[in-house]
């Protein structure tokens, strides 16, 4: 087969797989009945050193509030417009929930009162959300519009709309809030938004036939990791200063959602739809060092306080949030949530910590220059 035909074929396989996943999620969500109303909730209480996790249940159209100490659901909030993802502003005590398929709405949940307090009109098919570390801005990808909505969390209103690539999905905000990185699924690229000026300042192409799913940023902001696929799934490593690809790490189990350890030494990669693996990339070596199984599936990922515990949403066809000890990669337990848990967010976002002794993270990927293996 000619090289161009081969590239086109691998792209069709990768994109076709994602379309099947998205279609399955849309069908499941459209057939779900909205849960009955609940009594007035008691305001949740939280210790600063305790994680409060939130799970977006796509099929059930709900958000589950998790007490991660005793591993129970404390509240379930109905989100009739849809729950494709969830992002949390600790500063504003708000959770932002994009509706996903057949929606143009982001629902706003008061996390103290555990109820929906507003809806924000955005673009077509809002899929992903990321909140700046200071909690002042929420960014939402509008897949069918090819845009990102910038939300002022103080007023819960869209203050800017930025055009990006085709079918934007995952996104991440740099630690200093100055840049937003957007994974464009169908154009195989990452758009870099200057958050202060509200416009795209760079576009990083990931290679012909590549689909980009999710993105995460290192604690020091110098590297971005993008889960991608072109027949073989891998994680691309980007130099954020030069806006170039440094390397690509093959991930045989699959590559969808990402989470970076607070010290930057490891990147966790969920295998996604139909799989039960989380792969762990050693950022010093630039390879997958190990993987572990998550019973029920591995879709959305979030790290808790100091990165000691990971929370995993198990995906379509499941009803579980799983707790993993990141020191041992051992599953510590699970909690039953709503059907189709696709995403999880933690209010006590892990802060950067000093690198672990011997990690040498900067040895393998030196920013400002390309490494061998770059696509």
pLDDT tier at 353 (50, 70, 90 boundaries)?
low
- Using CA atoms, how far residue 238 sits from 7, 178, 229, 306, in Å, is 22, 16, 15, 24
Residue 208: what pLDDT? 82
**Which of 115-119, 213-217, 252-256 has the least mean pLDDT?**
252-256
HSE toward the beta carbon, residue 99, CA cutoff 13 A: 20
- Using CA atoms, how far residue 247 sits from 92, 174, 205, 235, in Å, is 37, 20, 13, 8
* Helix H or strand E segment including 182: strand 179-184
Residue 343 lies in a domain: yes
Please write the tens of the pLDDT for every residue from 285-305.
999 999 999 999 999 999 998
pLDDT tier at 365 (50, 70, 90 boundaries)?
low
Residue 335 lies in a domain: yes
pLDDT tier at 274 (50, 70, 90 boundaries)?
confident
Instruction: Give residue 177's region: left, alpha or beta (phi > 0; psi -120 to 50).
Output: left
Is residue 182 predicted with pLDDT exceeding 50?
Answer: yes
Please write the tens of the pLDDT for every residue from 122-168.
999 999 999 999 999 999 999 999 999 999 999 999 999 999 999 99
E-state strands within 132-262: 137-142, 147-152, 157-163, 168-173, 179-184, 189-194, 199-205, 211-217, 223-229, 233-239, 244-250, 258-260
Q: What's the average model confidence in pLDDT over 97-123?
A: 98
Selected residue with higher pLDDT from 23 and 97: 97
The token pair that represents 105 in the structure block: 């709405």
What is the DSSP-derived secondary structure letter of residue 60? T
Are 72 and 331 within 8 A, CB to CB? Answer: no
Please write the tens of the pLDDT for every residue from 203-234.
999 988 899 999 999 999 999 999 997 677 99
Residue whose C-alpha is closest to residue 100's, from 139, 140, 138, 137: 140
Q: Please report where in the chains the tokens 């494709």 appear, as a residue.
A: 84
Gap between the Cα atoms of 224 and 178, Å rounded: 14
The pTM of the full predicted model, rounded to 2 decimals, is: 0.84
pLDDT tier at 362 (50, 70, 90 boundaries)?
very low
Residue 348: what pLDDT? 58
Gap between the Cα atoms of 261 and 277, Å rounded: 17
What is the DSSP-derived secondary structure letter of residue 219? T
The token pair that represents 132 in the structure block: 């700046």
Residue 273: what pLDDT? 81
Please write the tens of the pLDDT for every residue from 33-74.
434 333 344 445 544 446 799 999 999 999 999 998 899 999
Gap between the Cα atoms of 375 and 199, Å rounded: 26
Residue 372: what pLDDT? 31
Are 44 and 75 within 8 A, CB to CB? Answer: yes
pLDDT tier at 6 (50, 70, 90 boundaries)?
very low
Residue 93 lies in a domain: no
Residue 176 lies in a domain: no
Write the CB contacts of 155 (distance below 8 Å, at least 6 apart in sequence). none
Residue 23: what pLDDT? 46
Residue 33: what pLDDT? 40
Selected residue with higher pLDDT from 37 and 117: 117
- With residues binned 3-state (H G I as helix, E B as strand, rest as coil), the percentages for the chain, rounded to 5, are 10, 45, 45
Residue 178: what pLDDT? 98
Q: What's the average model confidence in pLDDT over 292-320?
A: 95
Gap between the Cα atoms of 166 and 124, Å rounded: 12
Residue 25 lies in a domain: no
Residue 305: what pLDDT? 81
Residue 296 lies in a domain: yes
In DSSP terms, 304 is beta-bridged to none
Neighbours of 229 (CB within 10 A): 27
Domain extent at residue 68 = 52-74+280-353+360-365
Residue 232: what pLDDT? 74
Q: Please report where in the chains the tokens 């600790």 appear, as a residue.
A: 90
Is residue 267 predicted with pLDDT exceeding 80?
Answer: yes
Are 109 and 94 within 8 A, CB to CB? Answer: yes
Are 298 and 259 within 8 A, CB to CB? Answer: no
Average pLDDT across the chain, whole number:
85
Residue 312 lies in a domain: yes
In DSSP terms, 87 is beta-bridged to 96
Residue 202 CA, chain-centre distance (Å), reads 21
Residue 318 lies in a domain: yes
Tally of domains in the chain: 1
CA angle 138, 140, 145 (to 5 degrees): 150
How large a percentage of the chain has pLDDT more than 90?
Answer: 74
Which three-class secondary structure state does DSSP give residue 16? helix
Backbone angles phi, psi at 189, to 5 degrees: -150, 170
Selected residue with higher pLDDT from 331 and 31: 331
Gap between the Cα atoms of 269 and 234, Å rounded: 10
């Amino acid at each position: 087969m000619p090289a161009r035909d081969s590239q086109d074929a691998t792209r069709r396989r990768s994109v076709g797989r994602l379309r099947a996943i998205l279609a399955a999620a849309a069908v499941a969500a459209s057939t779900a009945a909205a849960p009955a109303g609940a009594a007035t909730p008691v305001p949740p209480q939280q210790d600063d050193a305790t994680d409060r996790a939130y799970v977006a249940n796509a099929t059930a159209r709900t958000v589950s509030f998790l007490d991660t100490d005793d591993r129970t659901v404390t509240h379930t909030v109905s989100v009739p417009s849809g729950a494709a993802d969830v992002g949390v502003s600790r500063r504003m005590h708000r959770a932002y929930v994009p509706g996903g398929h057949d929606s143009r709405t982001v629902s706003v949940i008061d996390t103290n009162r555990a109820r929906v307090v507003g809806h924000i009109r955005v673009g077509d098919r809002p899929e992903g959300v990321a909140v700046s570390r200071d909690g002042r801005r929420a960014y939402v990808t509008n897949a069918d519009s090819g845009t990102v909505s910038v939300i002022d969390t103080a007023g819960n209103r869209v203050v800017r709309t930025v055009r990006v690539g085709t079918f934007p999905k995952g996104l991440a905000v740099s630690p200093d809030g100055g840049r937003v990185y957007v994974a464009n699924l169908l154009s195989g690229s990452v758009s870099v938004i200057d958050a202060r000026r509200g416009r795209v300042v760079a576009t990083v192409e990931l290679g012909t036939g590549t689909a980009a799913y999710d993105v995460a940023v290192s604690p020091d902001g110098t590297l971005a990791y993008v889960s991608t696929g072109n027949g073989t799934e891998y994680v691309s490593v980007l130099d954020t200063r030069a806006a170039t690809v440094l390397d690509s790490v093959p991930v045989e189990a699959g590559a969808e959602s990402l989470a970076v350890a607070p010290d930057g030494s490891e990147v966790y990669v969920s295998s996604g739809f139909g799989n039960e693996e989380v792969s762990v990339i050693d950022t010093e070596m630039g390879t997958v060092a190990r993987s572990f199984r998550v019973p029920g599936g591995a879709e959305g990922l979030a790290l808790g306080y100091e990165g000691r515990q990971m929370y995993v949403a198990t995906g379509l066809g499941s009803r579980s949030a799983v707790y993993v000890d990141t020191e041992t990669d051992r599953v510590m337990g699970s909690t039953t949530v709503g059907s189709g848990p696709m995403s999880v967010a933690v209010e006590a976002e892990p802060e950067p910590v000093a690198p672990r002794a011997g990690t040498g993270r900067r040895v393998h990927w030196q920013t400002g220059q390309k490494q061998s293996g770059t696509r």
